Amino acid sequence: MKFDESVDVITRINECYHKMSKGKRGIAAYIQEHYEQAAFMRAAELGRNVGMSESTVVRFAMSLGYEGYPEFQKALASWVRDKFGSIEKVGRRFGKSSEGEILSTILQSDISNIENTINGIDVAAFTMAVDIILNARTVYIVGLRSCEPLADFLHFYLSMVRGNNILIKTTSVTEMFEQMIRIGVSDCIIGISFPRYSMRTLKCMEFANDRNAKVITITDSIHSPMNLYSSCNIIAKSEMASIVDSLVAPLSVINALVVALIMRRPEEVKNDLRMLEEAWNNYQVYLNDEIDFASDDLALRLTDIKGQDENLSEKERP
């Protein structure tokens, strides 16, 4: 594969990942997770850390289009420097901007991400995802690092649509596999990952694919390595205007996915919510410190209290 010299080393790894052998994928995963250390390791040291020979590491570097390991290491070190210099770049970009200008720039960037997502999303894949989720025996959800809030959000609302949903939430790959040990052909997994892609998330998806489970991915590009094991790819743009990941468009897509699921099972969702509300009332989950302004009775009580306060004399008021 011929590479554009302007393409950074991590992008090259992502684009080549699907063609790599198992050994080279192990090297790629290690670099993705430990890039700060890997940038300063010799080929032999990197090989020892991943259980591979020095020659395999050299071949890995050359498979990415580099003449040898030294050129690859130089490119990785340059990428690391650029990454840690991103705060300085943000400072140069917004250093003379007012808070209002920063707010406008970031919001406009998020609007652009949503517009690009609308124009590029595969509606057929979105519909397929709805079908897969509704028909699955168990739905596993995984999203790590900055994607954890997205996974939490999806898991919370998916529980209102159907039962048997498992949120994989751990920093240990071993524990992740333990939580997925029963996954099979009747199940599905939803993997959520955006640059920098999580190789732990990818490992979960690979394991699910090996067990013949259906795999859904929510990611930023058709070139994302997350699509390698996925039978259903939902693309949401996440271009960053600053050092902070932009997850507005992915969250909107997940929101749409939840609504589409609810509209497929409106009566079941209504019944579940009704039972949940009864449980709240019976077990006093929400006590007097919870204010529901949608309640007419509460609104009347608040009006009465306000009226009584206004009738107090100046002496009676505290």
Q: Is the pLDDT of residue 7 over 50?
A: yes
pLDDT of residue 9: 86
Structure tokens of 98? 């007012």
The pLDDT score that the predictor gives to residue 208 is 93
Least confident segment among 80-84, 127-131, 231-235, 251-255: 80-84
Burial of 197 (0-12, 13-18, 19+ CB in 10 A): buried
**pLDDT tens-place string over residues 137-163:** 999 999 988 889 999 999 998 988 888
pTM, two decimals, is: 0.68
- The band of 256, judged by pLDDT with boundaries at 50, 70 and 90, is very high
Mean pLDDT across 82-104: 64
Whose CA is closest to 123, among 234, 225, 40? 234
pLDDT at 275: 76
Alpha-carbon torsion (175, 179, 185, 187), positive or negative = negative
Residues 224-236 have a mean pLDDT of: 88
Q: State the average pLDDT over residues 17-34.
A: 85
In sequence order, the 6+-apart residues with CB closer than 8 A to the CB of 82 are: 8
- Can you give the pLDDT at residue 165? 94
Domains, the chain, in order of start with CATH, read 9-84 (1.10.10.10), 99-267 (3.40.50.10490)
Confidence of residue 298 (pLDDT cuts 50, 70, 90): very low
pLDDT in tens, 39-87: 889 999 999 988 999 999 999 999 998 989 999 999 988 888 776 655 5
Mean pLDDT along residues 266-284: 74
Question: Cα dihedral angle (199, 202, 204, 205), rounded to 10 degrees?
Answer: 180
* Strand ranges across the sheet with 165-168: 165-168, 139-143, 188-192, 214-219, 232-235
C-alpha span between 280 and 282 (Å, rounded): 6
pLDDT (0 to 100) of residue 186: 96
CA distance 295 to 286: 14
Examine the pLDDT at 223 and tell me if it is beyond 70.
yes
**Looking at 14-23, 283-292, 298-307, which range is the least confident one?**
298-307
Q: Closest by alpha carbon to 136, among 102, 186, 170, 87?
A: 186
Identify the band that residue 95 occupies on the pLDDT scale cut at 50, 70 and 90. Answer: low
Greatest mean pLDDT range, 14-18, 107-111, 257-261: 257-261
Residue 35: per-residue pLDDT: 82
pLDDT band at 302 (very low <50, low <70, confident <90, very high): very low
Question: For position 142, what pLDDT does the model report?
Answer: 94
